[in-house]
Amino acid sequence: MLNKSGSPPRLVLYCALLWLAAVAATSISSNADECPSSANEIATDRPDITNSSLVVPAGSLQAENGLDWTVRHGSNSLDATNTRLRLGVAHCTEFLIDLPGYFGSLNGPQPSGFSDVVVSFKRQLNVPFGFDLSTTVGSGFPSGAARISGRGYQPYIQFPWSRSLALSWELAGMFTLLWSPAESAHNLTFQPTLSLERKLTPGADLFLEYVGEYDHQRPTHLLDGGGALRFTETQQIDFHVGVGLNHASAALNGVPVDQYFGIGYSIRFDGLFAVTVAGNPH
Protein backbone atom coordinates (compact mmCIF):
# COMPACT_ATOMS: atom_id res chain seq x y z
CA MET A 1 0.00 0.00 0.00
CA LEU A 2 2.57 2.55 -1.14
CA ASN A 3 2.27 5.74 -3.13
CA LYS A 4 4.50 6.64 -6.08
CA SER A 5 7.25 7.96 -3.85
CA GLY A 6 7.42 4.64 -1.99
CA SER A 7 6.21 6.00 1.37
CA PRO A 8 2.92 4.92 3.02
CA PRO A 9 -0.04 7.19 2.13
CA ARG A 10 -0.46 9.84 4.80
CA LEU A 11 -4.21 9.41 4.92
CA VAL A 12 -3.85 5.72 5.76
CA LEU A 13 -1.59 6.60 8.68
CA TYR A 14 -3.94 9.35 9.85
CA CYS A 15 -6.92 6.98 9.74
CA ALA A 16 -5.05 4.29 11.66
CA LEU A 17 -3.85 6.75 14.31
CA LEU A 18 -7.35 8.23 14.69
CA TRP A 19 -8.84 4.76 15.16
CA LEU A 20 -6.19 3.73 17.68
CA ALA A 21 -6.68 6.96 19.60
CA ALA A 22 -10.44 6.41 19.75
CA VAL A 23 -9.96 2.84 20.97
CA ALA A 24 -7.42 3.88 23.60
CA ALA A 25 -9.65 6.69 24.87
CA THR A 26 -12.53 4.33 25.55
CA SER A 27 -10.74 1.17 26.67
CA ILE A 28 -10.35 2.30 30.26
CA SER A 29 -13.84 3.73 30.76
CA SER A 30 -15.81 1.02 28.93
CA ASN A 31 -17.63 -1.57 30.97
CA ALA A 32 -19.12 -4.92 30.04
CA ASP A 33 -22.75 -3.77 30.16
CA GLU A 34 -22.39 -1.22 27.35
CA CYS A 35 -21.67 -3.68 24.53
CA PRO A 36 -23.97 -6.46 23.25
CA SER A 37 -23.86 -9.97 24.67
CA SER A 38 -25.28 -13.24 23.41
CA ALA A 39 -28.45 -12.41 25.35
CA ASN A 40 -29.20 -9.54 22.94
CA GLU A 41 -31.02 -10.03 19.65
CA ILE A 42 -29.12 -9.93 16.38
CA ALA A 43 -28.11 -6.45 15.11
CA THR A 44 -26.91 -6.36 11.50
CA ASP A 45 -25.18 -3.96 9.11
CA ARG A 46 -27.92 -4.61 6.56
CA PRO A 47 -30.32 -3.98 4.89
CA ASP A 48 -29.64 -0.22 4.97
CA ILE A 49 -26.35 1.36 3.87
CA THR A 50 -25.87 2.73 7.41
CA ASN A 51 -24.05 0.06 9.40
CA SER A 52 -25.02 -0.90 12.93
CA SER A 53 -23.46 1.19 15.69
CA LEU A 54 -23.26 -2.00 17.79
CA VAL A 55 -20.61 -4.72 17.56
CA VAL A 56 -21.13 -8.47 17.50
CA PRO A 57 -20.97 -10.06 20.98
CA ALA A 58 -17.56 -11.35 21.95
CA GLY A 59 -17.22 -15.01 21.01
CA SER A 60 -19.96 -14.84 18.35
CA LEU A 61 -19.80 -15.22 14.57
CA GLN A 62 -22.39 -13.43 12.46
CA ALA A 63 -22.95 -14.08 8.74
CA GLU A 64 -24.91 -11.46 6.77
CA ASN A 65 -25.88 -12.31 3.18
CA GLY A 66 -27.83 -10.62 0.42
CA LEU A 67 -28.83 -10.56 -3.24
CA ASP A 68 -29.37 -7.30 -5.17
CA TRP A 69 -30.94 -6.60 -8.56
CA THR A 70 -29.67 -3.28 -9.94
CA VAL A 71 -30.58 -1.09 -12.91
CA ARG A 72 -27.84 1.31 -13.95
CA HIS A 73 -27.81 3.28 -17.22
CA GLY A 74 -30.41 0.92 -18.66
CA SER A 75 -28.38 -2.16 -17.78
CA ASN A 76 -29.68 -4.87 -15.42
CA SER A 77 -27.35 -6.84 -13.17
CA LEU A 78 -27.43 -9.22 -10.22
CA ASP A 79 -25.06 -8.91 -7.26
CA ALA A 80 -24.56 -11.91 -4.96
CA THR A 81 -23.99 -12.99 -2.36
CA ASN A 82 -23.01 -9.78 -0.54
CA THR A 83 -21.58 -11.83 2.34
CA ARG A 84 -20.13 -10.09 5.40
CA LEU A 85 -18.66 -12.17 8.23
CA ARG A 86 -18.40 -10.48 11.65
CA LEU A 87 -16.51 -12.12 14.53
CA GLY A 88 -16.50 -10.78 18.08
CA VAL A 89 -12.81 -11.14 18.91
CA ALA A 90 -12.77 -9.20 22.20
CA HIS A 91 -14.93 -7.06 24.44
CA CYS A 92 -16.56 -4.33 22.28
CA THR A 93 -14.35 -5.30 19.31
CA GLU A 94 -15.07 -7.28 16.16
CA PHE A 95 -13.24 -8.44 13.04
CA LEU A 96 -15.05 -8.06 9.71
CA ILE A 97 -14.42 -9.51 6.29
CA ASP A 98 -16.48 -8.81 3.18
CA LEU A 99 -16.17 -11.76 0.83
CA PRO A 100 -16.04 -11.21 -2.93
CA GLY A 101 -19.49 -10.84 -4.48
CA TYR A 102 -20.17 -11.53 -8.13
CA PHE A 103 -21.71 -8.79 -10.28
CA GLY A 104 -23.35 -10.45 -13.28
CA SER A 105 -24.59 -8.23 -16.11
CA LEU A 106 -27.90 -9.40 -17.57
CA ASN A 107 -27.93 -6.93 -20.45
CA GLY A 108 -26.33 -3.66 -21.49
CA PRO A 109 -22.81 -2.33 -21.00
CA GLN A 110 -22.34 -2.97 -17.27
CA PRO A 111 -19.24 -5.12 -16.49
CA SER A 112 -19.30 -8.54 -14.84
CA GLY A 113 -16.84 -9.86 -12.29
CA PHE A 114 -16.00 -10.25 -8.62
CA SER A 115 -15.60 -7.44 -6.08
CA ASP A 116 -12.58 -7.06 -3.78
CA VAL A 117 -12.05 -8.67 -0.40
CA VAL A 118 -12.42 -6.07 2.37
CA VAL A 119 -10.88 -6.66 5.83
CA SER A 120 -11.72 -4.41 8.80
CA PHE A 121 -11.79 -4.01 12.57
CA LYS A 122 -14.66 -2.36 14.42
CA ARG A 123 -14.70 -0.96 17.95
CA GLN A 124 -17.76 0.20 19.90
CA LEU A 125 -17.04 3.40 21.82
CA ASN A 126 -18.28 4.75 25.12
CA VAL A 127 -20.10 8.05 24.47
CA PRO A 128 -22.60 10.13 26.50
CA PHE A 129 -26.13 11.50 25.88
CA GLY A 130 -27.71 8.17 24.90
CA PHE A 131 -25.75 7.73 21.66
CA ASP A 132 -24.27 4.48 20.40
CA LEU A 133 -21.10 5.00 18.36
CA SER A 134 -18.54 2.74 16.72
CA THR A 135 -15.47 3.29 14.60
CA THR A 136 -14.30 0.97 11.84
CA VAL A 137 -11.01 0.97 9.98
CA GLY A 138 -10.15 -1.34 7.11
CA SER A 139 -9.11 -1.71 3.51
CA GLY A 140 -10.19 -3.32 0.29
CA PHE A 141 -7.55 -5.57 -1.26
CA PRO A 142 -7.13 -5.70 -5.07
CA SER A 143 -8.45 -9.24 -5.51
CA GLY A 144 -11.44 -8.63 -7.80
CA ALA A 145 -12.12 -7.10 -11.19
CA ALA A 146 -10.78 -3.56 -11.59
CA ARG A 147 -13.93 -2.51 -13.51
CA ILE A 148 -16.02 -3.51 -10.50
CA SER A 149 -14.04 -2.24 -7.49
CA GLY A 150 -11.31 -0.07 -9.00
CA ARG A 151 -7.56 -0.57 -8.90
CA GLY A 152 -5.29 -1.04 -5.91
CA TYR A 153 -5.92 -0.89 -2.18
CA GLN A 154 -8.83 1.14 -0.79
CA PRO A 155 -8.36 2.05 2.89
CA TYR A 156 -11.26 3.63 4.76
CA ILE A 157 -12.41 4.80 8.17
CA GLN A 158 -16.04 4.85 9.23
CA PHE A 159 -18.19 6.11 12.12
CA PRO A 160 -21.71 4.61 12.45
CA TRP A 161 -23.89 6.11 15.20
CA SER A 162 -27.47 5.85 16.47
CA ARG A 163 -29.79 7.49 18.99
CA SER A 164 -33.11 6.14 20.27
CA LEU A 165 -36.03 8.55 20.10
CA ALA A 166 -39.52 8.48 21.59
CA LEU A 167 -42.33 6.17 20.48
CA SER A 168 -40.15 3.39 19.02
CA TRP A 169 -38.27 5.69 16.61
CA GLU A 170 -34.52 5.70 16.12
CA LEU A 171 -32.22 8.09 14.27
CA ALA A 172 -28.97 6.71 12.86
CA GLY A 173 -26.22 7.77 10.51
CA MET A 174 -22.70 7.10 9.33
CA PHE A 175 -19.68 9.05 8.10
CA THR A 176 -17.21 7.26 5.82
CA LEU A 177 -13.90 8.44 4.35
CA LEU A 178 -12.54 6.27 1.52
CA TRP A 179 -9.30 6.68 -0.40
CA SER A 180 -7.94 4.85 -3.47
CA PRO A 181 -4.19 5.56 -3.73
CA ALA A 182 -3.85 3.85 -7.11
CA GLU A 183 -6.59 5.91 -8.78
CA SER A 184 -5.76 9.58 -8.21
CA ALA A 185 -4.14 11.98 -5.76
CA HIS A 186 -7.45 13.85 -5.41
CA ASN A 187 -10.02 11.10 -5.05
CA LEU A 188 -10.86 11.20 -1.34
CA THR A 189 -14.52 10.18 -1.11
CA PHE A 190 -16.83 11.29 1.71
CA GLN A 191 -20.06 9.34 2.21
CA PRO A 192 -22.60 10.56 4.80
CA THR A 193 -25.83 8.71 5.55
CA LEU A 194 -28.91 9.52 7.64
CA SER A 195 -31.53 6.91 8.51
CA LEU A 196 -34.87 7.09 10.34
CA GLU A 197 -36.10 3.77 11.71
CA ARG A 198 -39.50 2.80 13.16
CA LYS A 199 -39.90 -0.35 15.25
CA LEU A 200 -43.26 -1.95 14.41
CA THR A 201 -42.98 -4.94 16.77
CA PRO A 202 -40.13 -6.20 19.00
CA GLY A 203 -38.80 -8.18 16.02
CA ALA A 204 -39.74 -6.04 13.02
CA ASP A 205 -38.83 -2.55 11.82
CA LEU A 206 -38.86 -0.29 8.77
CA PHE A 207 -36.42 2.44 7.73
CA LEU A 208 -35.98 5.33 5.31
CA GLU A 209 -32.46 6.51 4.51
CA TYR A 210 -30.51 9.15 2.59
CA VAL A 211 -27.05 8.33 1.22
CA GLY A 212 -24.68 10.89 -0.33
CA GLU A 213 -21.31 10.47 -1.97
CA TYR A 214 -18.95 13.40 -2.51
CA ASP A 215 -15.60 13.43 -4.31
CA HIS A 216 -13.89 15.53 -6.99
CA GLN A 217 -16.62 14.56 -9.46
CA ARG A 218 -20.36 15.24 -9.44
CA PRO A 219 -21.97 14.26 -6.09
CA THR A 220 -24.47 11.41 -6.08
CA HIS A 221 -27.59 11.12 -3.91
CA LEU A 222 -29.61 8.02 -3.08
CA LEU A 223 -32.88 7.33 -1.24
CA ASP A 224 -33.09 3.91 0.36
CA GLY A 225 -35.87 2.16 2.28
CA GLY A 226 -36.80 -1.26 3.56
CA GLY A 227 -37.25 -3.38 6.62
CA ALA A 228 -36.14 -6.38 8.66
CA LEU A 229 -37.85 -9.25 10.49
CA ARG A 230 -36.02 -11.07 13.28
CA PHE A 231 -37.96 -14.35 13.51
CA THR A 232 -35.58 -15.69 16.19
CA GLU A 233 -33.11 -13.94 18.50
CA THR A 234 -30.24 -14.84 16.17
CA GLN A 235 -31.83 -14.90 12.67
CA GLN A 236 -33.12 -12.15 10.39
CA ILE A 237 -34.60 -11.75 6.93
CA ASP A 238 -34.71 -8.31 5.28
CA PHE A 239 -35.34 -6.33 2.12
CA HIS A 240 -34.47 -2.91 0.75
CA VAL A 241 -35.20 -0.82 -2.33
CA GLY A 242 -33.25 2.25 -3.49
CA VAL A 243 -33.54 4.91 -6.13
CA GLY A 244 -30.99 7.43 -7.35
CA LEU A 245 -31.95 11.08 -6.89
CA ASN A 246 -29.60 12.30 -9.64
CA HIS A 247 -31.10 12.40 -13.14
CA ALA A 248 -29.01 12.17 -16.32
CA SER A 249 -29.95 14.35 -19.27
CA ALA A 250 -30.68 11.20 -21.27
CA ALA A 251 -32.89 9.62 -18.62
CA LEU A 252 -35.96 8.01 -20.17
CA ASN A 253 -39.30 9.40 -18.94
CA GLY A 254 -37.59 10.96 -15.96
CA VAL A 255 -36.52 7.57 -14.53
CA PRO A 256 -33.49 7.95 -12.23
CA VAL A 257 -30.19 6.55 -13.42
CA ASP A 258 -29.92 3.95 -10.64
CA GLN A 259 -32.47 1.79 -8.87
CA TYR A 260 -32.21 -1.52 -7.05
CA PHE A 261 -34.02 -4.12 -4.97
CA GLY A 262 -32.42 -6.55 -2.55
CA ILE A 263 -33.25 -9.30 -0.07
CA GLY A 264 -31.09 -10.84 2.63
CA TYR A 265 -30.69 -13.39 5.41
CA SER A 266 -28.45 -13.14 8.48
CA ILE A 267 -27.62 -15.56 11.30
CA ARG A 268 -25.47 -15.41 14.45
CA PHE A 269 -23.66 -18.29 16.16
CA ASP A 270 -22.86 -17.68 19.85
CA GLY A 271 -20.40 -19.14 22.33
CA LEU A 272 -17.74 -20.17 19.83
CA PHE A 273 -14.91 -19.51 22.29
CA ALA A 274 -14.43 -18.27 25.84
CA VAL A 275 -13.91 -14.54 26.26
CA THR A 276 -12.61 -12.78 29.34
CA VAL A 277 -14.27 -9.48 30.25
CA ALA A 278 -13.00 -7.51 33.27
CA GLY A 279 -11.24 -10.63 34.56
CA ASN A 280 -14.28 -12.92 34.28
CA PRO A 281 -14.52 -15.66 31.63
CA HIS A 282 -17.74 -15.72 29.56
Among 107-111, 165-169, 182-186, 206-210, the least confident range: 182-186
Q: What is the pLDDT of residues 137-156, one digit of tens each?
A: 999 999 999 888 888 899 99
Distances (CA, A) of 197 to 49, 167, 238: 13, 11, 14
* CA separation for the pair 158, 149 (Å, rounded): 18
Look at residue 202 and tell me if it is in a domain: yes
Helix, strand, or coil (residue 92): coil
Asked if pLDDT for residue 265 goes beyond 90, the answer is yes
Confidence at residue 10, expressed as pLDDT on a 0 to 100 scale: 56
Asked if pLDDT for residue 35 goes beyond 90, the answer is yes
Alpha-carbon Rg of the chain, whole angstroms?
19
Short-list 32, 26, 29, CA closest to 280: 32
Beta strand extents in the chain (DSSP E only): 61-72, 75-90, 93-98, 102-105, 113-114, 117-125, 131-141, 154-164, 169-178, 189-201, 204-213, 220-232, 235-244, 258-269, 276-277, 280-281
Range of the domain at 154: 10-281
Give DSSP secondary structure letters for 23-54: HHHHHTT--GGGS--TTSPP--S-SSSSPPSS
Q: What is the pLDDT of residues 193-241, one digit of tens each?
A: 999 999 999 999 999 999 998 887 778 899 999 999 999 999 999 999 9
Confidence at residue 182, expressed as pLDDT on a 0 to 100 scale: 78
Look at residue 1 and tell me if it is in a domain: no
Work out the angle at residue 82's Cα, subtended by the Cα atoms of residues 64 and 145, and round it to the nearest 5 degrees: 150
Query: Band of the pLDDT at 279, cuts 50, 70, 90?
Result: very low
* CA separation for the pair 168, 109 (Å, rounded): 44
Look at residue 2 and tell me if it is in a domain: no
> Under a CB-based contact definition with an 8 Å cutoff, are residues 86 and 62 in contact?
yes
Asked if pLDDT for residue 281 goes beyond 70, the answer is no
For residue 115, the 8-state DSSP code is: P
Any idea what the CATH number is for the domain that residue 149 is in? 2.40.160.40
pTM over 0.95, yes/no = no
Look at residue 87 and tell me if it is in a domain: yes
Q: How far is CA 180 from the centre of its chain?
A: 18
Confidence at residue 75, expressed as pLDDT on a 0 to 100 scale: 83
- Could you give the number of structural domains in the chain? 1
Confidence at residue 276, expressed as pLDDT on a 0 to 100 scale: 55
Mean pLDDT of 17-25: 59
Confidence at residue 71, expressed as pLDDT on a 0 to 100 scale: 87
Asked if pLDDT for residue 259 goes beyond 70, the answer is yes
Look at residue 4 and tell me if it is in a domain: no
Look at residue 83 and tell me if it is in a domain: yes
Look at residue 225 and tell me if it is in a domain: yes
What percent of the chain stands above pLDDT 70?
Answer: 80
Look at residue 5 and tell me if it is in a domain: no
